[in-house]
Amino acid sequence: MAVVKVKRPDLNAGEKLFLGAIVKGFFITMRHAFDSLRGKTRGADEMASSGLGATMQYPEQRWDEHMPEYYRGAPALVTDEQDRERCVSCQLCEFICPPKAIKIVPGEIPSDDAWAKVEKRPQEFDIDMTRCIYCGMCEEVCPEQAIYLRKDYLISGLNRKEMVHDKKKLYEIGGKRVGLVNKWNELK
């Protein structure tokens, strides 16, 4: 195969002085400055900017409608159409969780319950949101489609205890989810 030798072009006198490049740089930075002061930054519209630069200013503006489908926010538990807890406390998520944020206390479903054949449900289900890394492994590993990462990202608390989501809070975030596989009932 023929080898093509390409010689890098030498700099001419003007390029060696660098002054032209520096002046050009001033024009570029000043153009950006004027554009962003006039609210005409390139890409400001797609980014839904606040009018200064390309930045969206957070508490007043939210990017909720720009959020992609695959966004991973706070993990939450869901119920099915008949308000049954989908979680059967198999503890797979607890064991897969890389930062060990999930803690489950399994409990038995009493035999007089309508869903007695499911046998187990969580007695307590805590996710420590100071530990959670939003990796989504719990969602991936769940055999019952019971835990999902929702789009909630505003998680705050005044102390560590408030940052632990208990079962009630998790169902509150998760809510009802329809259209999933129903393997414990005849709902078709």
Partner 1 sequence: MEILIPLLIILAKIVGLTFMVVLPLVPVCVYFERRFSAVIQDRVGPNRVGIPLTLFGGKKDIPLFGIVQPVADAVKLLLKEDFTPTNVRTAFYWLAPALTIVPSLVTVCVIPFGSPLTVNGEEIKLVIADLDVGPLFIFAVSSLTVYGITLAGWSSNSKYPFIGGVRSTAQMISYEICLGLSIIPVLMWYGDLNLSNIVEHQSKNGWLLLPFWGESAPWNNGGDYTAWLFWFPAVIAFLIFTISIFAETNRMPFDLPECETELVGGYHTEYSSMKFAMFFMGEYAAMVIGSALIVTLFLGGWSLGPSFDQWSAGLEIGSVGIGGLLGLAVFMAKLIVFILFFILVRWTVPRFRYDQLMRLGWIIFFEVALINVFLGALVIAAPHLGIVITLVGAVLLAAVSSALIWVLKVSDKREDPNTGLLASN
Task: Rule CB under 8 A: say whether 62 interacts with partner 1.
Answer: no
Read off the amino acid at residue 14. G
- 3-class state of residue 103 by DSSP: strand
d(CA 100, CA 91): 12
Which of residues 55, 79, 182, 185 is near partner 1 by CB under 8 A? 55
Nearer to partner 1, 55 or 185 (CB): 55
CA proximity to 125, closest of 90, 149, 160: 90
Task: Rule CB under 8 A: say whether 26 interacts with partner 1.
Answer: yes
Q: Is the separation of the CB atoms in 119 and 109 below 8 Å?
A: yes
- 181 carries a ligand binding annotation: no
Task: Rule CB under 8 A: say whether 70 interacts with partner 1.
Answer: no
To which residue do tokens 């944020």 refer?
101
Stretch that binds partner 1, among 26-34, 76-84, 96-104, 122-130 (CB under 8 A): 26-34
- Spatial strand order of the sheet with 120-128 comes to 102-108, 120-128, 164-165
Q: Is the separation of the CB atoms in 35 and 52 below 8 Å?
A: no
- 117 carries a ligand binding annotation: no
CB of residue 134 vs partner 1: minimum separation in angstroms? 26
**What are the residues binding partner 1 (CB under 8 A)?**
5, 7, 22, 25-26, 28-30, 32-33, 35-37, 41-42, 44, 50, 52-55, 57
Q: Binding site for [4Fe-4S] cluster: which residues?
A: 87, 90, 93, 97, 132, 135, 138, 142
**Known binding-site positions:** 87, 90, 93, 97, 132, 135, 138, 142
